């Protein structure tokens, strides 16, 4: 029989029970034992659900109280010394301190660094390796959970992050090559596998997602040596799992590794399935992830089945069916969406539905297409309905997109000329000061939104109150002496949601939460159809704010690439086509803002870099399309209207050319945390436009002195001409409180004054 399995199930619970339990524990509202029991309950629930759906092997250790990479560090005893020596096991509070710096017991300690998990919106805790790093098993979590699943009578398939990916994702503390640590690491993995074998485990899922990336030769060699050691007779069988893309040039390598099975991503790696099947010896298991683990669309069963059928002919019972990657990246259960649009709901599938789709594909392969005739037919009927639905297709949007010319994505004149006009119009001092958009989202503001939602206050009252908040922000900025003001974004819950709620083609779920990091979950909007803007979205607020001051008021929009990256995006057309549709809607907003008397408009693109594909070869296409979208959104204005963009912490060096191609008149970016290191790229690349390198780290409650900010700006001025520099914080201030913000901005304005004198 074909085997059905998922690579992992969301751990948060259909109602974010895990988040609630973990946070209650942190607040000491529940005991450690309560938390442990809740974890147990959720695991059991998720196994039960998968088993009922027809999964043959159940993932174990996909559960985590914080992060699965952090779990791996605990298991391997990779605990930085600042968390104290580990005697015996890594206890839960040490674990939480590594994740977030704090726990109910023990002293606060600087948390481990957190970064994006490949190209998803999940974030993992970066392992830290000392030069003499020892590896020793220091956590029983994996083994206890295996016992738990086995005791419940399930076929447990433990999931571990493989040694090469674990090493690759970590960072060396000190100047040494991490790969030196591989032999010791592999010994520890050997022990893990042995212990699992002793428990009677037949298959272990060993995740090596780095196999879908461009790997240095040293890592390729590392794979060969590590797996030669691990795949010994004392080990359970190994299913080497790759996901988030095709294996590409690593195909030869993965097919040669002495493992008993290989999992490939059948969604993103669709085009290489035939090749994989040809290269992989037939006595090995080929697991194919045909059900998209990263999106919310119902699987198109017919094409999926057709792709699997020839593989089944070749591999027989050695063919397994699965999700493309762990279902961690999809929401839990569509059944929880009670108010969803009835036409759209059947087009969707969350984790609980995805395992049913996997089971259906298995059934078809095992018993023949006839056995799933009904499911195939229903899927086809839905696909057809969707393909022709007026909810999705808007002829006007498509027509407009087809008429876009190169000129639509180009300002009328070059920057040098625009700059003169803008300076004449805005009359700003040297080193102009500004902020990135949001001001503190106070309790009061959040209460207003909650009251509006629950109908406690009317729309009118709400708007009046928000206007009051805007007036307050304007007054404070004038008192502080800032040059280019913002309205403060009091009316926005979230920078993507706010626009998604006003655009056609977007939908919001009630419960479509996915884990972002630790206990933090996000509910991304769903872009299901052609995007258009029924009416202006921000002009009233901005015009109101402008009416309160003589100083320039900056309009504030979220860019097309960021909206795309932080949503669930339709998969029936290229992603970048959707980005262009969003861009056109934003373009109209930009023009409307200009008409409303706004002469500085910022289009935020904090996700610009994180959208980069995992493979370098795909970068150019992405950057070309992403840049085009931004320009489409921004280029509809006159020369004298100043376009700003903003980007957060990112390695700019390798994409600096594309950032310049955006042709924004001003870019503000996060640089203070790296002590202006991020401006290194500007040494060799003559960035043509104006720049505001952040001088105030808004992630920290610390208030930098004006001297400190002057020093940072002087550093920046070594690389960028002083009359091209702006003075601003790293990012928006919505998570901070007013008193600290006022003090910090006051220092910032003082710093700008000092700089003006120094560079006059
Ligand atoms: N304008 C947004 C704000 O200030 C930008 C947020 C971001 O870059 N993530 O909140
Ligand atoms: Zn930012």
pLDDT computed for residue 357 by the predictor: 98
Question: Bridge-partner residues for 506, per DSSP?
Answer: 527
pLDDT computed for residue 654 by the predictor: 86
249: which residues sit within 8 A by CB, 6+ positions away? 214
Averaged pLDDT, 454-472: 98
Least Cα distance to 49 among 324, 355, 338, 345 occurs for: 355
Residue 730 CA, ligand 2 centroid: distance in Å: 6
255: which residues sit within 8 A by CB, 6+ positions away? 262, 276, 279, 280, 281
Q: How far apart are CA 284 and CA 281, in angstroms?
A: 6
3 state SS for 654-721: HHHHHHHHCCCCEEEECCCCCCCHHHHHHHHCCCCCEEEEECCCCCCCCCCCHHHHHHHHHHHHCCCC
pLDDT computed for residue 486 by the predictor: 98
Residue 250 CA, ligand 1 centroid: distance in Å: 39
215 lines ligand 1 (CB under 6 A): no
Q: Is the pLDDT of residue 266 over 80?
A: yes
Helix, coil or strand: residue 256: helix
Token digits of residue 405? 């010319």
Residue 420 C-alpha from the chain's centroid:
39
Q: How far apart are CA 273 and CA 204, in angstroms?
A: 23
647 lines ligand 1 (CB under 6 A): no
Of the candidate CATH numbers 3.40.630.30, 2.40.50.100, 3.20.20.210, 1.10.10.60, the domain formed by 395-759 belongs to 3.20.20.210
731 lines ligand 1 (CB under 6 A): yes
Note the residue count of the chain: 760
Least Cα distance to 31 among 105, 109, 106, 111 occurs for: 105
């993992």: which residue's tokens?
124
Residue 530 C-alpha from the chain's centroid:
23
Least Cα distance to 133 among 91, 180, 90, 99 occurs for: 180
- For strand 3-4 and strand 485-486, is the pairing parallel, antiparallel, or unpaired? unpaired
pLDDT computed for residue 676 by the predictor: 84
Q: How far apart are CA 235 and CA 226, in angstroms?
A: 13
177: which residues sit within 8 A by CB, 6+ positions away? 218
H or E segment and range at residue 632: helix 619-634
Q: Is the pLDDT of residue 131 over 80?
A: yes
Share of the chain above pLDDT 70, in %: 100
2: which residues sit within 8 A by CB, 6+ positions away? 312, 317, 319, 320, 321, 362, 365, 366
Render 571-616 in DSSP notation, one character per residue: SSS-HHHHHHHHHHHHHHHHHHHHHTT--EEEEE-TTTTTT--SSG
Decide: 649 and 674 in contact? Cβ < 8 Å.
Answer: yes
646 lines ligand 1 (CB under 6 A): yes
**Ligand index nearest the alpha carbon of residue 558:** 1
pLDDT computed for residue 366 by the predictor: 97
Query: Atom 4 of ligand 1 has which residue's CA nearest to it?
Result: 732
Domain spans of the chain, in order of start: 395-759
Query: Atom 3 of ligand 1 has which residue's CA nearest to it?
Result: 732
pLDDT computed for residue 683 by the predictor: 86
pLDDT 10s digits, 224-258: 999 999 998 889 999 999 999 999 999 999 999 99
- For strand 568-569 and strand 600-604, is the pairing parallel, antiparallel, or unpaired? unpaired
Task: Return the number of other C-beta atoms located less than 10 Å from residue 398's C-beta.
Answer: 14
pLDDT 10s digits, 649-695: 677 888 999 999 999 999 999 988 788 888 888 888 999 999 999 99
pLDDT 10s digits, 22-45: 999 999 999 999 999 999 999 999
Q: How far is CA 506 from CA 69, 297, 341, 501, 578, in A?
A: 33, 14, 12, 7, 11
Averaged pLDDT, 282-286: 97
Q: How far is CA 728 from CA 141, 465, 575, 749, in A?
A: 46, 28, 33, 9
Least Cα distance to 363 among 321, 334, 306 occurs for: 321
pLDDT 10s digits, 174-220: 999 999 999 999 999 999 999 999 999 999 999 999 999 999 999 99
278: which residues sit within 8 A by CB, 6+ positions away? none
Q: Which of 606, 644, 696, 733 has most ligand 1 atoms within 8 Å of its beta carbon, as the pocket-test mutant?
A: 606
Residue 556 CA, ligand 1 centroid: distance in Å: 9
pLDDT computed for residue 524 by the predictor: 97
Query: Atom 10 of ligand 1 has which residue's CA nearest to it?
Result: 732
Phi-psi region of 411 (alpha: psi -120 to 50; beta: other; left: phi over 0): beta
Q: Which of 434, 435, 437 has most ligand 1 atoms within 8 Å of its beta carbon, as the pocket-test mutant?
A: 437
495 lines ligand 1 (CB under 6 A): yes
Token digits of residue 588? 């109209």
pLDDT computed for residue 681 by the predictor: 86
- For strand 58-60 and strand 203-207, is the pairing parallel, antiparallel, or unpaired? unpaired
Looking at every residue in the chain, the average pLDDT score rounds to 97
Q: Give, to the nearest 10 degrees, the angle between helix 68-76 and helix 92-100.
A: 130
pLDDT 10s digits, 316-330: 999 999 999 999 999
Helix, coil or strand: residue 725: strand
pLDDT computed for residue 651 by the predictor: 79
Q: Is the pLDDT of residue 528 over 90?
A: yes
Question: Bridge-partner residues for 601, per DSSP?
Answer: 555, 643
Query: Is 0.85 surpassed by the pTM of this model?
Result: yes
Q: How far apart are CA 547 and CA 542, in angstroms?
A: 9
pLDDT 10s digits, 249-264: 999 999 999 999 999 9
Token digits of residue 296? 């919310």
- Cα-only R_g, the chain: 27
pLDDT computed for residue 652 by the predictor: 82
**Ligand index nearest the alpha carbon of residue 439:** 1
Decide: 162 and 207 in contact? Cβ < 8 Å.
Answer: yes
pLDDT computed for residue 418 by the predictor: 98
Q: How far apart are CA 528 and CA 505, in angstroms?
A: 6
Handedness of CA 388, 389, 395, 399 (dihedral sign): negative
Residue 670 CA, ligand 2 centroid: distance in Å: 7
Q: How far is CA 7 from CA 269, 288, 427, 520, in A?
A: 16, 11, 58, 22
pLDDT 10s digits, 420-441: 999 999 999 999 999 999 999 9
């Amino acid at each position: 029989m074909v085997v059905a399995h998922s690579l992992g199930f969301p751990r948060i619970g259909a109602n974010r029970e895990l988040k609630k339990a973990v946070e209650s524990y942190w607040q000491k509202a529940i005991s450690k034992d309560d938390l442990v029991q809740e974890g147990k309950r959720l695991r059991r629930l998720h196994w039960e659900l998968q088993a009922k759906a027809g999964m043959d092997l159940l993932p174990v250790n996909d559960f985590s109280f914080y992060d699965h990479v952090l779990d791996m560090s605990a298991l391997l005893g990779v605990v930085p010394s600042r968390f104290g020596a580990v005697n015996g096991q890594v206890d839960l509070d040490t674990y939480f301190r590594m994740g977030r710096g704090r726990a109910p017991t023990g002293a606060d300690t600087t948390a481990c660094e957190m970064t994006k998990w490949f190209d998803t919106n999940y974030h993992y805790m970066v392992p830290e390796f000392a030069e003499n790093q020892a590896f020793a098993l220091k956590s029983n979590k994996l083994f206890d959970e295996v016992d738990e699943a086995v005791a419940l009578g399930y076929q447990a398939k433990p999931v571990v992050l493989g040694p090469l990916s674990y090493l690759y994702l970590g960072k060396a503390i000190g100047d040494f090559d991490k790969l030196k640590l591989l032999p010791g690491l592999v010994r520890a993995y050997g022990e893990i596998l042995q212990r699992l074998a002793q428990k009677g485990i037949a298959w272990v899922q060993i995740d090596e997602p780095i196999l879908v990336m461009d790997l240095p030769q040293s890592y390729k060699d590392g794979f060969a040596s590590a797996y030669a050691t691990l795949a010994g007779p004392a080990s359970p069988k190994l299913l080497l799992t790759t996901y988030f893309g095709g294996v590409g040039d690593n195909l030869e390598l993965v097919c040669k590794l002495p493992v008993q099975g290989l999992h490939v991503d059948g969604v993103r790696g669709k085009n290489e399935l035939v090749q994989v099947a040809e290269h992989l010896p037939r006595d090995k298991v080929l697991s194919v992830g045909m059900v998209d683990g990263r999106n919310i669309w119902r699987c198109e069963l017919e094409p999926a089945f057709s792709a699997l059928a020839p593989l089944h002919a070749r591999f027989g019972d050695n063919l397994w069916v699965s999700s493309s990657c762990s279902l961690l990246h999809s929401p839990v259960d569509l059944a929880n969406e009670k108010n969803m649009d009835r036409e759209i709901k059947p087009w969707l599938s969350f984790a609980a539905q995805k395992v049913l789709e996997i089971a259906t594909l298995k059934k078809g392969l095992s018993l023949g297409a006839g056995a799933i005739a009904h499911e195939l037919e229903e899927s086809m009927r839905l696909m057809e309905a969707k393909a022709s639905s007026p909810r999705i297709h808007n002829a006007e949007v498509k027509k407009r997109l087809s008429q876009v010319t190169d000129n639509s994505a180009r300002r009328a004149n070059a920057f040098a000329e625009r700059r003169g006009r803008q300076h004449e119009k805005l009359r700003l001092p040297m080193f102009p000061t500004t902020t990135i958009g949001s001001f503190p989202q106070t309790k009061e503001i959040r209460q207003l939104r909650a009251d509006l939602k629950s109908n406690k206050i009317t729309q009118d009252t709400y708007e009046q109150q928000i206007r009051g908040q805007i007036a307050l922000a304007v007054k404070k900025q004038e008192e502080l002496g800032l040059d280019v003001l913002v309205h403060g974004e009091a009316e926005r819950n979230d920078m993507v949601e706010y626009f998604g709620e006003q655009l056609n083609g977007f939908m919001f779920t009630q419960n479509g939460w996915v884990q972002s990091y630790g206990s933090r979950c996000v509910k991304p909007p769903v872009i299901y159809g052609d995007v258009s803007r029924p009416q202006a979205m921000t002009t009233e607020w901005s015009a109101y704010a402008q009416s309160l001051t003589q100083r320039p008021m900056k309009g504030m929009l979220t860019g097309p690439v960021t909206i795309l990256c932080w949503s669930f995006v339709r998969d029936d057309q290229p992603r970048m086509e959707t980005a262009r549709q969003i861009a056109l809607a934003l373009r109209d907003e930009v023009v409307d803002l200009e008409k409303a008397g706004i002469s500085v408009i910022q289009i935020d693109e904090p996700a610009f870099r994180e959208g980069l594909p995992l493979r370098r070869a795909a970068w150019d296409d992405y950057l070309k399309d992403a840049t085009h979208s931004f320009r489409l959104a921004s280029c509809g204005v006159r020369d004298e209207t100043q376009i700003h963009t903003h980007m957060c912490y990112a390695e700019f060096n390798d994409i600096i050319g594309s950032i310049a191609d955006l042709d924004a008149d001003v870019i503000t970016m996060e640089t203070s945390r790296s002590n202006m290191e991020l401006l290194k790229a500007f040494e060799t690349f003559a960035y043509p436009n104006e720049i505001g390198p952040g001088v105030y780290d808004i992630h920290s409650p610390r208030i930098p002195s004006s001297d400190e900010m002057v020093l940072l700006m002087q550093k920046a001025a070594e690389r960028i001409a002083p009359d091209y520099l702006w003075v601003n914080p790293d990012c928006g201030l919505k998570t901070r409180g007013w008193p600290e913000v006022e003090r910090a901005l006051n220092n910032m304005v003082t710093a700008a004054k000092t700089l003006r004198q120094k560079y006059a």
